[in-house]
Amino acid sequence: MDDTSETRRVATDYVDSLERRDWERFATLLAEDVVYEMPQTRERIRGRAGYLRFNVEYPGDWHLTTRRVVADGRFAALWLDVRVGAETMDACVWLDLDEHGLVRRITDFWPEAYEPPAGREHLVERW
Amino acid sequence: MDDTSETRRVATDYVDSLERRDWERFATLLAEDVVYEMPQTRERIRGRAGYLRFNVEYPGDWHLTTRRVVADGRFAALWLDVRVGAETMDACVWLDLDEHGLVRRITDFWPEAYEPPAGREHLVERW
């Protein structure tokens, strides 16, 4: 497999193993020194053990569906549909793989709903 | 060029022509029936003319820098650094190209800063 195919497989497995709470398989995808960042809160977790625990402890009955996976060399981007009970939101996840095909960096964005600014009603429709 | 190389070029030109306010070049990248969506505000713009005008009219002295471009067949994902004066934020942009290599769908996310929820201080560091 070339880098892109391998990256696409890892990105797909990343979501699938999270959704299944298959922690053993999830851990095998991660580099020992993986770094997880959430720029919106300026939070960072260093290392596989900590990031695994973060996911194991993450509250709520959350469920992930992949809307889009885009893989390119050792980079991937995931657009996820995340559901927690009746609440649904999008996530944008950026993965960097190392030379062994392990995830070494994850950057997670959680864009929240907000009211649009005034002044562009003449151009947009709402749904 | 294969689809992925062409998509990467279009994604790069998309950001570059916006940053330069090169509206003529920007318009040539878009399909006539392009659809632009912002899921956070549930806003949609249909058609090249409207989406072009939206960008021309967009307020503020905004500047775009590409942090990451990931291209895969006719899909691309862009992670942008957006600056408006002293304010800086991230954007996650998903592009779909049609069979002619034109952008036919854009999905734009603007993740805003927020305070982290309590309960994970034992796992995270802040920056």
> What DSSP string describes chain B?
--HHHHHHHHHHHHHHHHHTT-HHHHHHTEEEEEEEEETTTTEEEESHHHHHHHHHH--S-EEEEEEEEEEETTEEEEEEEEEETTEEEEEEEEEEE-TTS-EEEEEEE-PPP-PPPTT-TTT-EE-
Chain segment A77-110, per-residue pLDDT in tens: 999 999 999 999 999 999 999 999 999 999 999 9
Size of the A and B interface in Cβ pairs below 8 Å: 131
Rounded to whole angstroms, the Cα distance separating B65 from B46 reads: 26
Q: Which helix or strand (DSSP H or E) is residue A4 part of?
A: helix A3-19
- Rounded Cα distance, B93 and B55, in Å: 15
pLDDT value at B64 more than 90: yes
pLDDT at A65 over 80: yes
CA dist A79 and B80 (Å) reads: 15
Distance CA A101, CA B100 (A): 33
Q: Contact, A29 vs A17, CB < 8 A?
A: yes
Does any CB of chain A come closer than 8 Å to the CB of residue B38?
Answer: yes
Contacts of A123 in chain B (CB under 8 A): 45, 50, 53-54, 57
Q: Largest alpha-carbon pair distance within chain A?
A: 52
What residues of chain B lie within 8 A of the CB of A80, using their CB? none
Chain A residues touching residue B45 (CB < 8 angstroms): 123-125
* Distance from C-alpha of B12 to C-alpha of B77, rounded to nearest angstrom: 11
Cβ atoms of residues B115 and B108 within 8 Å: no
Q: Which of A68, A72, A90 sits opposite B71 (nearest CB)?
A: A72
| Subunit contact A119:B59, Cβ cutoff 8 A | yes
Whether residue A104 contacts residue A113, with contact meaning beta carbons closer than 8 Å, is answered with no
| The residue to which tokens 């998309």 are assigned | B14
Q: Structure pTM?
A: 0.96
Report the share of chain B in percent with pLDDT over 70: 100
Q: A44-53, B29-38, B111-120 — which is least confidently predicted?
A: B111-120
Mean pLDDT, chain B, whole residue set: 96
What's the distance, Cα to Cα, between the start and end of chain B in Å?
A: 42
Q: With a cut of 80, say whether residue A1 has pLDDT above it.
A: no
**Residue A57: enclosing H or E segment and its boundaries?**
helix A48-57
Number of neighbours of residue A124 by Cβ within 10 angstroms? 19
Q: What is the pLDDT of residues B43-58, one digit of tens each?
A: 999 999 999 999 999 9
Looking from the CA of B58 toward its CB, the CA atoms found within 13 Å total 16
